[in-house]
Chains A and B, each alone.
Chain A
């Protein structure tokens, strides 16, 4: 039995373009309110940094708000503020993203400002020094104030080994303090170019008009040949690892199993069985592992799965669980392993159909909020998905069979993996 889908089920109703300089544009019309979300996704992040230069992509993200030759000093934020924009930026392993939510009458202003700072950034020594202090404080506040960070960063190192994803996005404390202006300029000059960016605009607009304006503001920026990042091809992770930590100041034990599985870069449309598998095993309160471990056996108080397929240098599949009071992490681990096997033995066509229906029934909501639509489209497009691939999500999920999901499961359990546990210091083993 197939789920009834419209002849052409479109996730967002997006329309894509490529500007003459190679910049990709994705437009998602949404006419509910006279507003737009404008996002520039640069395909460069912490994983592109040279060794020892951790945090330089993130520091550059901060310095992008410190003025260009035309829009000097802090005018960027001032201009956007007076025009009612909500603007911010974030840095991840593979991308650095700048975004503005604006009244529709200010969309062109956001385009002009973002286009200007794609190539004309000026970084003076004073701003650099101050901003380096700020990102140092940011690491202390956002990362180190949370006592669990030692476990999270250690897990990242153990799981990714020599791979660039093993390093924290903020950089380490000593790396931050030793960064130079040249380090951030290098990233800016190499990677902040139109042919390395995805422009996403969602809101009260017509796609062709946006395309014309994108050519007007961004089109005049010349493309630049991109460096090849060797690390992508070299860093293989081949050892199984385990991590066991005891930490002061944490109160809850946690168990995380993490597997190296193909992401979109390698698997292309092979990602969908993993997406379905993740939903089936551990997304939400009717997922198999949740029902088995939390609702029925009560060995855990929480369990969830996550499949990261957008990381361009390697995907991962994670299962996280928290043991119930009085249950050891080791007992939870055994219970989790048998629950996984049991879940797979219970998977038949009818069950699969039920879970797929859950995944597809709420797709309409994706169109509701232009801010969220822009975020998802930007993430998928930056991972290399074509417009059609993004729009055909429902059909691709629909095609997944029981055999596909079982194969994905077998790939996962036989993959290179890390088992990580953390317990409060002083807790009995």
Chain B
């Protein structure tokens, strides 16, 4: 019984460590940005800004942080008007999956 608790404690500790390590995506609105991009793969800058109710400068700041970590990429596209497209990277998908799994485990410990 004690052994089982120890094992659980060890895994919980590792999940806590994972959450702390990824503190950058844990904060709002970065968590929402990552979640939206995880579900939709790519979203226009303006749409993202409007749905998150952020100013362009504020969103740009958060995207630069996420880009620096390699979780998102930003590209320009030519449509009937110039568009800035924000996309999630493979690395971003992987880290977000891990992060959500860790969050789920931590939340399950709440009775």
Bound together:
no
